[in-house]
Chains A and B, each alone.
Chain A
Amino acid sequence: MYPESMRPSLEKVIQTRNKRFELAKSGKPVFPPMSAEEREEVLNEFHPDYKPDSRRKIRLGPNKGENLTTEVTDMLESHSRIKPELFDLTRPDYETDILIIGGGGAGCAAAIIAMENGAKSIISTKLRLGDANSMMSQGGMQAAVPEKDSPACHYLDAIGGGHFDNKPDLVRALTEDGPDVVKWLEDLGVVWDKLEDGSLQVLHGGGTSRKRMHSCRDYTGAIIMRTLMDKVRNNPDKISILEFMPIVELILDNKGRCAGGVLYNLETEEYFTVKARATIIATGGYGRLHIRGYDTTNHYGATGDGLVIAYRAGAKLLFMDSVQYHPTGSVFPEQIAGFLITEKIRGAGGQPLNKQGKLFVFPREPRDVESSAFIKECLERHNGIKTPSGRLGVWLDSPLIEMIQGEGYINKQFPAMHRQFIRYGIDITKEPMLVYPSLHYQNGGVEINEKCETNIPGLYVAGEASGGVHGRNRLMGNSVLDYNVFGRRAGIYAAQHTKSAKLGTLTLEHIRNFENELKKARVKTDLITPILLPSYTPEDVRKRQVTAHYEGTLR
């Protein structure tokens, strides 16, 4: 329930609703979309990436001298968890065709396709299989299926949303594979939202010129992820799953080819070695680094592990200066601060409103632009709504959706959102939600080509951990598509690679070299990475945990 202090503004939302509904029904744009110049201006002034201290030059490694997001530079300029000399690489504990690091959407898709191409794999995952941001996507997946749409339209939307920085071949792969991914997933048993005649239900997302958002109510990721997991689990002789066993370093061979990785059992704290002829990094993103102090929509395990291990092995990163803040993170109640509120809400007609109950931005600008407009409305124009704990936000008018789409639409299409708020006495069919940008997506990552290959032979990357597909800003619904398209591609090309790949002597020399580079660059840090899990222990408790490092290596 909203407190009294927020009531006057809520009243204004109600007062303006009928007029806004009339305009929405007329089919005219409810607010003028921004021009290129307007977009640039609001980004420059208000996007968190554009603040002077948001980026810092990295002093070593493949991207040496480049400005990266400060928290990313901090994470990459760090020590390994292991001492190379303690490992006997002549007798690996596990051997397989393909080592897949990460058990989310991209990892599972890769394993399934690799299996169909004759390669066995091990999926190593830090938490449980399917514990990933893939599980949490709500709104949908873009794919250019409808008659009025085309993969080329999708291409233009994606590359414009990404500020024309995207790698063209990757955008082509993403958009051209889209329709086939819809079919592939349906054949695996994904239940898409459909109309009576069997045609796929589609909606708009931010920055789309055509309706192409395919969904499974607002549990899109949960349905897709569990379907992929079930397929993986039905093939235990081809795909081995190692849960609570993250890879903490890659292993190379004497010719610089990727040859597997070092596993860490989170529970027994043992380390193991895996030898593989191909390795796929599918570790997802970094939301749990809480960049610039932002709340995040991300999974507990989203700590950018793949970036660190790839970087130490010599892989080049791309667009690691760009962070995505989702415009509609929840702000009230406090317990769900930062939680994702799907963009499908705006796709279905929901509108962002200020303290006066007025629209101040086109509801479906690309995410970085929309987020910046929200921040501007709150910080510069002082038109935000304040919560009792002091947070600022703007309204997201959901009751309008029921007026536009008909009564019962929210319960049918947004069961997760309805559930999320009704627990706290807020019925989103009757009252709006309060939102503010929340740290959502790693736009960049390890640079790949359309075969998911990196600059290290035998190392493939797919999904959020990769860079180039989305340029410097991803559109809604393109990440679900991304992990399927590139997960499948990684599976195919890694499997092909294993047919002819030969490995020389295995080595962890690159860990030693990286440690030397740290010294040479005079980096002083006691940070050990990959980070693996974020800590939410209060400072005073932490101070009392004086022997935490005896008990385990996690703290």
Chain B
Amino acid sequence: MATKKPAKKKPAKQTKAKATEKTATVFIMGKAHKVPADATIMGAIEYAGYQIKRGAGCREGFCGACATVYRLPGDYKIYTGLACTTLVEEGMWLSQLPAIPDQKPIYNLNKLEPNVSTFQKLFPELFRCVACNTCTKACPQDLEVMDYIQAAIRGDIEKVMDLSFDCLSCGLCAIRCPAEIVQYNVGLLAKRLYGKYLSKESKQLKKRIKEVKRHKYDKEYKEFKKMKKEELKKKYYERDLE
């Protein structure tokens, strides 16, 4: 299909892996590359010449697309991190995980009840948790993953919501879990159950929606629409500030 000349893209400004004097040698999937010593893992991969397709997303620590596992020289441990926010280290051996095999039960939130039996039904494997804490150690957000899994087993939905709130669904917990639990999906269900069923209702919200439905603001909207730019401008700069 590509019969035309290759696209010559404007080189985007390089910010993440600026060439500095100090370099580090890292092993990207086993292959040695010299990269700036203060680069992030993602910056290093791109500096080395890879065009990432899988393994880059928001690049700021919100989307969880760039789960990475690595080892350091002379250290038996497996480390986990997000490529976008983890810095390289001398001798680091790293590999990104292009995707995490996911297992998500299909459900209709409207038909669920916010209690422990919902978790028993949808995530029976939860009860295989041996409290080894590997998930917590793997979490790049430093969340108390094991604690929220234990809370889910007890049916404490509010606790699961609170502890899993900052979860990015990067999947590093799930890939390390000996009980084969998909922790982030448990957290997501708990948050949705909490938001829908357990969070206290706002009376003012109901009232405002009713007001809108009864066309309370129609008149003002129509007046604004009719106003000339200068008139509207005047109104805007004269409005009171809370």
A residues sitting closer than 8 Å to B (CB atoms) are 33, 35-36, 71, 74, 79, 81-83, 86, 127-128, 130-131, 133, 135-136, 144-153, 155-157, 159-160, 164, 168-169, 172, 176, 179-180, 182-183, 186-192, 194, 197-200, 204, 209-211, 216-217, 219, 221-223, 226-227, 230-231, 233-234, 236, 244, 266-267, 269, 271, 288-290, 293-295, 297, 299-301, 334-340, 389, 415-416, 419-420, 423, 526-529, 531, 533-539, 541-542, 544-545, 548-549, 552-555
Shortest distance between the CB of B48 and any CB in chain A (Å): 8
B196 CB to closest chain A CB (Å) equals: 5
Interfacial residues, chain B to chain A (CB-CB below 8 A) = 1-19, 38-40, 43, 46-54, 56-63, 65, 85, 87, 104, 106-109, 141-142, 161, 165-166, 168-169, 188-189, 191-196, 199-206, 208-209, 212, 217, 220-221, 224-225, 229, 232-233, 235-237, 239-242
Q: Give the distance in Å from the alpha carbon of A527 to the alpha carbon of B5 in the complex.
A: 9
* 5 tightest A-B CB contacts, nearest first: A189-B192, A198-B200, A549-B6, A160-B236, A528-B7
* Complexed CA–CA distance, A501 and B130 (Å): 56
Provided the pairs A194-B202, A535-B12, A537-B51 are in contact, do residues A189 and B7 lie with their beta carbons within 8 angstroms? no
Given the known interface contacts A146-B204, A189-B193, the answer about A156 and B239 at a Cβ–Cβ threshold of 8 Å is: yes
Contact A527 B7 (CB under 8 A): yes
The answer to whether B7 and A300 touch across the interface, beta carbons within 8 angstroms, is no
Complex partner residue of B1 from A86, A152, A186, CB under 8 angstroms: A86
B224:A168 contact, CB within 8 angstroms: yes
Taking A227-B191, A416-B61, A528-B4 as known contacts, 8 extra A-B pairs with beta carbons closer than 8 A to each other, sorted by chain A number, are A33-B241, A136-B58, A183-B206, A191-B194, A337-B15, A531-B9, A538-B14, A542-B49
Whether the Cβ atoms of A198 and B202 lie closer than 8 Å is: yes
Which residues of chain A come closer than 8 Å to B40, judged between CB atoms? 335
Please list 24 pairs of residues, one from A and one from B, whose beta carbons are closer than 8 Å in the complex, sorted by A's number: A35-B237, A135-B57, A135-B58, A136-B60, A150-B217, A152-B220, A155-B221, A179-B209, A180-B209, A199-B204, A209-B239, A221-B62, A222-B63, A222-B168, A230-B189, A236-B106, A244-B53, A288-B12, A299-B63, A415-B166, A419-B61, A534-B9, A541-B49, A542-B11
Neighbour of A553 across the interface among B2, B87, B200, B232, CB < 8 A: B2
Query: Which residues on the B side are within 8 Å of A192 (C-beta)?
Result: 195, 199
Give every chain B residue within 8 A of A176 (Cβ-Cβ). Answer: 212, 217, 221
Q: Is the CB of B63 within 8 A of A135?
A: yes
State A290–B53 Cα separation when bound (angstroms): 19
For the complex, what is the distance from the CA of A183 to the CA of B115, rounded to whole Å? 22
Closest to B107 in A: A234
Contact of B232 among A164, A227, A234, A297 (CB under 8 A): A164
Residues on B with beta carbons closer than 8 Å to the beta carbon of A293: 13
CB-based contact A234/B106 at 8 Å? yes
Contact B19 A36 (CB under 8 A): no
Q: How far is the CA of A236 from the CA of B3 in the complex (A)?
A: 37
Q: Are A295 and B224 in contact (CB under 8 A)?
A: no
Q: Which residues of A contact B85 (CB under 8 A)?
A: 336, 420, 423
Interface centre among A74, A176, A222 (most CB of B within 10 A): A222
> Contacts A180-B212, A553-B1 given: A186-B61 contact, CB under 8 Å?
no
A299 and B57 contacting across the interface, CB-CB below 8 Å: yes
Kindly identify which residue among A82, A144, A226, A538 contacts B208, using a CB–CB cutoff of 8 Å. Answer: A144
